[in-house]
Structure 1
Amino acid sequence: MIIHREETFAGKQMEELQLERMKKTLEKVYENVPFYKNLLDDYGIDVLKFNRLNDLTEYPFTTKEDLRKNYPFGMFAVGKEKLVRIHASSGTSGKPTVVGYTKHDIEQWSQAVARAIAMGGGKKGEVLHNAYGYGLFTGGLGLHYGSEMLGMTTVPVSGGNTNRQIQLIQDFKPAIICGTPSYTLNIAEKMESLGIAPDNNSLKYGIMGAEPWTEKMRLILEQKLGIQACDIYGLSEVMGPGVAMECAEGRNGLHIAEDHFIAEVVDPVTLERLEDGEEGELVFTSLTKEAMPLIRYRTGDIASISRDACICGRTTARMSRIKGRIDDMLIVRGVNVYPSQIEFQLLSTSEVVPHYQVFINTSGSLDVVTLHVELNETVYKEASFSVNHAIAQTVARKIEQRLKSALMISIRVKVCAPNTIPRSEGKAVRIIDQRKLNSYT
């Protein structure tokens, strides 16, 4: 087990390091990013008077909308001649958010991800199968550079072409597979259909992230692939993967790279900082970024922070696994529901497989929510290959009752035939909001 020095800093030692780096970051953004200079001047804040970490609560937040308004390079603290790479979001809900990296940023990022991979079981000399997407998405290249920094042999297979993925796993014999939980499940199910048993592959560990996933999903992936699966967290606006990582020993929260980031949890409505253990919106402040440091960036991700001791020996704060995103939250007849809560109930239902989509539409003035789930092959055969059979409809009612009992919501469930719900080759698309589609027709 590799534990880096910064991961064992005592409370005061880490605070001193963070304070030193925070002062430099504030001076950098004030001097080099017009957005921050104007914002901090408007708030009457003097960055030279930052003397305590708690002073951060006096600073305004940065939002994704701020990044979009300053598209493409308005948030950069260095000139374009110092950039070595640019990543960007898909921009499906507006202008993409653009992130820049200097050579130093790439090195820092690679080291953080190397630390994360080691935390999840990776070792120098082993093979890592990287099924995260490459390109403007930070997942693929983030894990790639971290794997190489750790000294692993990296297979840059990216997402998609599942049959080829399986062939490479069989031939190259990787110890670790990296990818989104939904696409890794896709690989696992395909291997299962080909008769490849969990004890007939080389995989020992899995590093999954880029989307919320449940403990039930973890158990399914571990059973189907014969691995120990750990959660990795990151977001392109802050760095990419490696912001936080579960350790293979504890798997009870993700260790935050506190030497690179200050993490907070705030109430998403009042924006007041919450105490450790309270659930709210994650907020991150950069400490080591050169090209694009962010101050109090609102992630939209829902989690909590703990500072309890971990059995692995690391002393960094840990964040809970992501419960969901604020913008993915459904409000069903006044009740707030996250897709991960629906997923948990589905994974407790043996008659269906772990693939689903939630469709939102309107009927008159009311929103109508329909959950599409997929029967497993055995039940589908028992139902005489019909989703309208009494057996299939009984499964639908069973899931509706579970959702009603556990989440206090009424959602119509539509059962589908096996292999009819689209499989993910990257991040899973769980919410289909047809209200938005209909507004353009």
Structure 2
Amino acid sequence: MRYWQEEEVYDIEQKRQVQSERLIKTVNRVYNNVPFYCDKMKALGLEPGDIKSIDDLSKLPFTTKQDLRDNYPYGLFAAPMEEVVRIHASSGTTGHPTVVGYTQNDIKMWSNVIARSFTAMGVTKKDIIQVAFGYGLFTGGLGVHYGAEHLGAAVVPISGGNTKKQIQLIQEFGSTVIACTPSYALYIGETMKNMGIDPRSTNLHTGIFGAEPWTEEMREQIESMFGINAMDIYGLSEVLGPGVAFECQARSGMHINDDHFVPEIIDVNTLEVLPEGSEGELVFTMVTKEALPLLRYRTRDITRLHTETCKCGRTLTRMDKVTGRSDDMLIIRGVNVFPSQIESVLLKVAETAPHYVLIVDRINNLDTLEVWVEVKPEFFTDAIKSLEKIEKHITAELFSLLGLHVKVKLVEPRSIERSEGKAKRIIDRRK
């Protein structure tokens, strides 16, 4: 089994010592350099000296995305601007975006954890990695790019979009790995088929996918379409970008680089830390970042943590695939609904394509949920009874899963807008 470095297989005591030392250093850094954290800690009656080990983590205040927006653009930076060498930002739909800064050491750490991730996935310096994540303010493209170069692989920095050019380069450059969102991978494969190209005929052997939630059913669709291993990489710009966690070849959850990002699971309502194995909201404390070391950042991602050693031998804490987000969760007539739950049902239906949109509305003061999903071309027909049969089947499956009556609408092939980045899955008309 190949590892990038020894930190991946630390025993419990080694890990605790490293996390504790780094946490203490980080708490002192933010207390002395970030007025926001100094005020927060003083309000709780805390001083840096009160944090003596990783066991004291729960004493510290939480940080939210709104805190970053309230301190826009650089108010939470713990390093002077002359030490900041990179600035990224999220594309927030309302208000200010969240701004993230990196020192030179932050960039080195980022490159390192990406190289760890790729090594665990079976990617080596012999590979040609086509990076189809977006470049620019979005962290995906440049994050993966630097890590791939650090690994020693050849990088094709095409960025997102320009799908026919993507396909041309996959074929002509002999790309062996593609990195992009899973929904865009399906779109590339669909476009290849429309061009008369078999997606399985290329040199691709691995796909590295992230930036949006995706299900095991979507993994199966991608692997079947391309004949590749579809691997998961996790990250968010506020914490780092891609490389916070990664899937190894054992594929039993994603390994969190917990020597850099200490994870917790909290109850969404009480904010109490939950025991191992409990489902709740994922929280990260960044213990090695210099420019933006956030304390107990609430990701809003819903998952579980596991600390037992993986089959691959790594002792890094593992997280389950994210099932949804606490802030993207739909509440329909009192029922909590995550888009990923609906996707898991749709992708098991042989007659439908992996392209769908959820329409949420309020009619006569009653919330409604309508699921539009494309029918595969070979199953699309003018026979109303055939389509009604498919609709009824999906409706019954969704009711069995959710306990909620959902209206299902089958639509023509290629009628739902495609995305060359993150897929837009929800249209909420209640607002």
Query: CA contact under 8 A between 1:128 and 1:153: conserved in structure 2?
Result: yes
- In structure 1, what is the Cα distance between the partners aligned to 2:189 and 2:282? 31
Output aligned runs, 1:379-418, within 5 Å: 379-380=379-380, 382-383=381-382, 389-418=384-413
- In structure 1, what is the Cα distance between the partners aligned to 2:387 and 2:135? 39
Matched, 1:306 2:306: yes
Q: 1:191-221: CA deviations, max 9, x gaps?
A: 2333333441101111111111111110110
- In structure 2, what is the Cα distance between the partners aligned to 1:285 and 1:33? 15
TM-score after normalising by structure 2: 0.98
Cross-structure match for 1:183: 184
- What SS class does the counterpart of residue 84 from structure 1 fall into? strand
Query: CA contact under 8 A between 1:198 and 1:223: conserved in structure 2?
Result: no
Query: CA contact under 8 A between 2:333 and 2:366: conserved in structure 1?
Result: no
Give the share of equivalent positions with the same residue, in percent.
51
- What SS class does the counterpart of residue 435 from structure 1 fall into? coil
- In structure 1, what is the Cα distance between the partners aligned to 2:258 and 2:192? 38
- In structure 2, what is the Cα distance between the partners aligned to 1:383 and 1:121? 47
- What SS class does the counterpart of residue 430 from structure 2 fall into? helix
Cross-structure match for 1:344: 344
- In structure 2, what is the Cα distance between the partners aligned to 1:52 and 1:104? 24
- What SS class does the counterpart of residue 203 from structure 1 fall into? coil
- In structure 1, what is the Cα distance between the partners aligned to 2:416 and 2:285? 38
Query: CA contact under 8 A between 1:128 and 1:154: conserved in structure 2?
Result: yes
- What SS class does the counterpart of residue 211 from structure 1 fall into? coil
Cross-structure match for 1:203: 204
Matched, 1:121 2:122: yes
Shift of 1:338: 0.6
Number of aligned residue pairs: 430
What residue identity is the alignment partner of 2:400?
Answer: S
Q: 1:399-436: CA deviations, max 9, x gaps?
A: 11110112211111111100010112111111111222
- In structure 2, what is the Cα distance between the partners aligned to 1:383 and 1:394? 13
Output aligned runs, 1:26-41, within 5 Å: 26-41=27-42
Q: 1:147-184: CA deviations, max 9, x gaps?
A: 01100110111111111111110011111111111111
Higher mean C-alpha displacement, 225-234 vs 360-369: 360-369
- In structure 1, what is the Cα distance between the partners aligned to 2:425 and 2:62? 28
Shift of 1:76: 0.4
Cross-structure match for 2:365: 365
Q: 1:210-236: CA deviations, max 9, x gaps?
A: 111111110110010110111110000
Cross-structure match for 2:325: 325
- What SS class does the counterpart of residue 327 from structure 1 fall into? coil
- In structure 2, what is the Cα distance between the partners aligned to 1:181 and 1:201? 18
Cross-structure match for 1:10: 11
- In structure 1, what is the Cα distance between the partners aligned to 2:2 and 2:111? 16
Output aligned runs, 1:177-256, within 5 Å: 177-248=178-249, 250-256=250-256
Output aligned runs, 1:273-312, within 5 Å: 273-312=273-312
Query: CA contact under 8 A between 1:214 and 1:344: conserved in structure 2?
Result: yes
Query: CA contact under 8 A between 1:245 and 1:254: conserved in structure 2?
Result: yes
Cross-structure match for 2:155: 154
What residue identity is the alignment partner of 1:383?
Answer: D
Q: Which runs of 5+ in 1 are unaligned?
A: 437-441
Shift of 1:309: 2.1
- What SS class does the counterpart of residue 19 from structure 2 fall into? helix
